[in-house]
Amino acid sequence: MEEQVEQPHEQHDQSPAESHADPAGPTGHPGVDEVVASLDRLEELPVSDHVAVFEAAHAGLRDALSRAGDG
């Protein structure tokens, strides 16, 4: 039987915020971009407040989707 050797965790020079950055950038839809930007404040809020932020983001995305065909 082969012995399993645990590998040390890699160290990264990025902060947690940088490692979760959106690599895609803006969506091109102002309403969606605004909702995504609203999630940036989660880091500074207590976890107990995250649900309200996610619910507001969900409502904003639903609204943007419902108006996607309007023009």
DSSP class of residue 39 equals G
User: Where residue 53 falls among pLDDT bands split at 50, 70, 90?
Assistant: very high
Task: Indicate the number of domains in the chain.
Answer: 1
- At residue 25, does pLDDT exceed 70? yes
Residue 4's pLDDT is 65
Residue 60 included in any domain = yes
Please tell me which residue, 40 or 70, carries the higher pLDDT value: 40
Taking the C-alpha atoms of residue 24 and residue 43, their distance in angstroms, rounded to an integer, is 20
- Residue 49's domain spans which residues? 27-66
7 domain-assigned: no
Q: Say if residue 49's pLDDT is above 90.
A: yes
Residue 17 covered by a domain: no
Answer with the residue of higher pLDDT: 16 or 4: 4
Of 18, 19, 37, the residue nearest 27 (C-alpha) = 37
| Angle at alpha carbon of residue 11, lines to 5 and 15, rounded to 5° | 145
pTM: 0.60
Q: Is the pLDDT of residue 22 over 60?
A: no
Nearest C-alpha neighbor of 33 from the set 51, 57, 49, 56:
57
Q: Which of 17, 61, 25 is nearest to 41 (CA)?
A: 17
